[in-house]
Amino acid sequence: MDNTSLIKMLEYIDPASCDYQEWVNVGMALKHEGYSVNDWDSWSRSDSRYHSGECERKWQGFNGNAQPVTAGTIVQMAKERGYSPHEFKAYDWDGEIVAEESSPLVNGGEGIPITEPAQWDPVKEIVTYLETLFEAGENVGYVTQTWKTEKDGKTKYLPTKGCCDRTAGELIKRLGECNGDIGAVFGDYKEEAGAWIRFNPLDGKGVKNENVTDYRYALVESDSMPIEQQNAVMRELELPIAVLVYSGGKSVHAIVKIDAPNYDEYRRRVDFLYKVCKESGLDIDKQNRNPSRLSRMPGIMRNGKKQFIIDKNIGKESFSEWKDYIESINDDLPDPESLSAEWDNLPELAPPLIDGVLRQGHKMLIAGPSKAGKSYA
């Protein structure tokens, strides 16, 4: 099933016709299949019973179980309301079946769209990010100040060194007291540039790799394919994503769980992660390998677009679980070889002994029922 067909099936299901459990099942199925809470929320809005924020509250509790609600539930509900699946294509005897080119690990497709938050709350976006990635006492690096450069007639804003002397707990406390004024906490930023944040905790003395205190996360980012496909591939790969953020530009930023004990092991794990992503069509910028790398801060405006959290805690639970999963589906078997040339150059057949029945060098077994041909006096 491609990534858009489930949303199309929801067109057959009126949320007003669903009881409470059916409504919840739709949400659980969407999350299990890699969709966002915004897809469920948008579908639910046409019901007079809709309450803003209820989908998001329920969504956080959908953590999976031994018998998850899957796409099949939505398919069955759609069928009961008139949906009819496409018929299989029939091929004639001389028809050619050609396999579509795709990644060895993921399927192609139109992708999974992302949707801006229905209720835009910048403070909540940043607080959610901080609470997900950091402990209260850990120092957080962030950048709101930029410097401007001109290249090929285009203006580009680049981040400065930024700050690293505040803890996540302190930032969360001040955000709760700022009355929505993000600049009062982080400093004012240029909307043309946006703002950045570092996803690994620092020692408060600098923002280089040696200042990282825990090699917890890595950044996966690619702007070589449309946003919807980036979203779909990252989900289909089951990347152990702690937070998935829209950059406000050409990419989504996946903050992926690495949990390495030291820097050397961090680099090895990130190399494996990037290798798998590249084989799946995500051409990763290798500069993102650094544990002190900046990523886009959610809750910020950039060129008229919101930087926001798309989803969090998706994919496999840990890097080790994800690595085992990837290795289990990549069996390293050789690629199949085409036999088309052999069909055009078949060996000559031996002369017939009995036309249409037996040829020279072949054997024939003649059998019959028990006692067949036996005569009795």
- What is the CB-side half-sphere exposure of residue 50 using CA atoms within 13 A? 15
Res. 96 pLDDT band, cuts 50 70 90:
low
Do the beta carbons of residue 167 and residue 125 sit within 8 Å?
no
Q: Looking at residue 104, what is its pLDDT?
A: 47
Average model confidence (pLDDT) across the chain:
86
Res. 253 pLDDT band, cuts 50 70 90:
very high
Is 324 a residue whose pLDDT tops 70?
Answer: yes
Instruction: Spell out the domain ranges in the chain.
Output: 5-80, 122-329
User: From residue 7, how far is each of 4, 13, 94, 252 by CA, in Å?
Assistant: 6, 10, 36, 21
> pLDDT digit string (tens) for 288-310?
889 999 999 999 999 999 999 99
What is the C-alpha separation between 256 and 277, in angstroms, rounded?
12
Backbone angles phi, psi at 174, to 5 degrees: -70, -35
What is the C-alpha separation between 331 and 257, in angstroms, rounded?
24
Residue reference for tokens 């607080």: 127
DSSP string across 17-65: G--HHHHHHHHHHHHHTT--HHHHHHHHTTSTT--TTHHHHHHTT----
What is the C-alpha separation between 203 and 213, in angstroms, rounded?
6
Give the mean model confidence (pLDDT) for residues 231-254: 94
Give the mean model confidence (pLDDT) for residues 307-336: 85
Res. 3 pLDDT band, cuts 50 70 90:
very low
Structure tokens at 25: 């099942």
Structure tokens at 204: 């408060």
Q: Looking at residue 218, what is its pLDDT?
A: 97
Is 323 a residue whose pLDDT tops 60?
Answer: yes
Selected residue with higher pLDDT from 287 and 18? 18
> pLDDT digit string (tens) for 160-173?
999 999 999 999 99
Do the beta carbons of residue 216 and residue 257 sit within 8 Å?
yes
Do the beta carbons of residue 244 and residue 254 sit within 8 Å?
yes
Architecture of domain 122-329: 2-Layer Sandwich (3.30)
Selected residue with higher pLDDT from 308 and 91? 308
What is the C-alpha separation between 103 and 316, in angstroms, rounded?
20
Pick left, alpha or beta for residue 215 (phi over 0 → left; psi -120 to 50 → alpha; otherwise beta): beta
> pLDDT digit string (tens) for 210-220?
999 999 999 99
Give the rounded percent of residues in the chain with a pLDDT score beyond 70. Answer: 85
Partner residues linked to 212 by β-bridges: 202
